[in-house]
Structure 1
Amino acid sequence: MRDTTSLLPLIVRDLRLERDGRVLLDVPIARIQNRQRNVILGPNGAGKSLFLKTCHGLVPPTSGSIEFTRPASAADNRRKQAMVFQKPVMLRRSVRANFMHALAMAGVGWRERRRIATETMAQFGLSSLADMPARVLSGGEQQRLAIARAASLWPDLLFLDEPTSSLDPTASRQIEDMLEILHERGVTLVLTTHDLGLARRFADVILFFHNGRLVEESNAERFFTAPQTPEAKAFLEHRLFW
C-alpha cells in the first residue's frame, strides 16, 4: 500500500552549479507543488536535463538548497522519488524480472513483488511482453517499461527526461496516456520535452530555461498565451536557438 504522506512541495533556492568557472545552472527559486504536472522547456543546452538530475540528487549543486517541505530521512526522500532517463536503462533480464528486481531493491517481499509486477504490467499493456528480454523491445516498449517499473514503486515524485523523444506518434501517445494515469494516481510529474504539443496538452506549470537560467515559471495557459519574458516569447515564435 502506498504511503500517502507527501514530501512535497519541493523548494529549490539559490541553486547554482558551476564547472570549470562556467555557470551551468542558476535557479534563484523554483517550486514543485504536490500533484502538479510540471513541464520544463527550453532550447538545447538550456540546462533542462541537468536541473532534473540535480533535483533528483544525481548531481550535487555548487551552492543552494533543494528541500522537501516535510522533514524526512535521506532514505525516505530517495524511496519516494524516481527518475526515467531519455534512454531507458534496461536490465539484462525479462520484462517481468525488471519489475521484480526493482521491487526487491525497494524491500518488497517476493509474493507482493509478483502481485505488483503482474498488476502493473496489466495496467500499462505490458502483460504480453512479460517473458521477453527487456533489451530486445522496441524503443517505445522500453520507455513504457521504464515508466511502469518506476510507477510500480509508487513514487511521490517522478522525473522524466524527454519521455517521448524519438518515438512515433502512436508510441508517444501511449506514453502520454501512462503519464495521465500516474497523474490521476496523485504522482507529481516533472518532465522535460521539446514537444510543444505535449506541453500544451499536459502541463499545469511551465518552467522555462535558457542558458542554464530559470527564466520563467508560469501557469501553462499563461505561458503559452502571454509569456512574460523576451526569451520565452522568442522560443514560442521559434526565434530562440541558443
Structure 2
Amino acid sequence: MLLDVRNLGGKLGRPVSMTLAAGECLVISGPSGIGKSLLLRMIADLDENTGDARLNGRSRMAMPGPHWRRQVMYLAAESGWWAETVSAHMQPLPDAAAFLPRLGLRADVMDAPVSQLSTGERQRLAFIRAAIRKPAVMLLDEPTSALDPASTGLLEDEFSRLRQTGTGLIVVTHNADQAERIATRRLFMTRDGLSEAR
C-alpha cells in the first residue's frame, strides 16, 4: 500500500483511517466546514494530530517532517507565494516550463510577477510547483476551484498522467461531476468520519 493512514485524530473528532494505492485517485467529498481540508493538512503533518500515517510501510514518525511533506505533499486551493516572480519558485525550471503548454499557460508567465497573475494562473502554477518535485502522494484541496471548464479539463488530464507514473492522489472537491470523472474511489466525510460514497 502506498499510503496507510491509521487512526488519525485530533481536531477532527472521531479518528480516521484510510488507504491509498499507487496510481489511485481517492476523492473526498462532504459538507463545507466538515474538516476535509483539515484532514489533508493532518495527513501532511501540517496540523497537530494523533495516530500515524505510513508511506510504503514507513511511518512518518521515522522521518523528519520536511522529508515526509516532500513525499506527501499538500496543495491548498490558494497556495502561498514567497518570492516576487514565478520562476523563483520553480526548480527545476525546465521541468516546470514543460508543463506550461499542457495547462494552457504562456511561456513568459515564468518571468511574471506573482502579484499580476490571475487566481486561476496561480492555481495552475502552484500545481506545477508541486508536481515537478515528484511527490509520491499529492493531497489536492479544491485544485480547480478557480478554473474555467477548459482549464479544469487540462488539469484533470495531468491528474491522469501522474496516476500513470504511480503517484497517488487524494482530492477534495465539491464538484460532483469532477468527482465522477477523476475518482477511482470515493469517500464521504461526516461528523462521524469517512464512509464509502454511494
- What is the 5 A alignment of 1:126-165? 126=105, 127-165=107-145
Distance 2:84 2:162 in 1: 25
1:197 Cα deviation (Å)?
A: 0.2
* Change over 3 Å in CA distance of 1:91–1:170 after alignment to 2: farther
Per-residue CA distance 1:130-159 (angstroms, 9 max, x = gap): 211122111211111000110111111111
Per-residue CA distance 1:100-140 (angstroms, 9 max, x = gap): xxx3xxxxxxxxx3433333445544423121112211121
Distance 1:49 1:42 in 2: 11
> Gaps (5+ residues) in structure 2?
none
- The code of the aligned residue for 1:12 comes to V
SS of 1:130's equivalent in the other structure is helix
Whether 2:83 is the aligned partner of 1:92: answer yes
- What is the 5 A alignment of 1:1-242? 8-18=1-11, 24-61=12-49, 63-71=50-58, 73-74=63-64, 75-99=66-90, 103=91, 113-126=92-105, 127-211=107-191, 213-214=193-194, 216-217=195-196, 223=197, 227=198
* Change over 3 Å in CA distance of 1:16–1:117 after alignment to 2: closer
The structure showing larger relative contact order (alpha-carbon pairs under 8 Å, at least 6 residues apart) is 2
The CA RMSD over aligned residues, in Å, is 2.1
Distance 2:98 2:153 in 1: 21
Who wins on radius of gyration, i.e. which is larger? Answer: 1
- The code of the aligned residue for 1:13 comes to R
How many residue pairs get aligned? The number is 193
- Are the counterparts in 2 of residues 91 and 135 from structure 1 also a CA contact under 8 Å? no
- Are the counterparts in 2 of residues 42 and 209 from structure 1 also a CA contact under 8 Å? yes
TM-score (norm 1): 0.71
Partner of 1:232: none
Identity value in percent: 32
> Gaps (5+ residues) in structure 1?
1-7, 19-23, 104-112, 218-222, 228-242
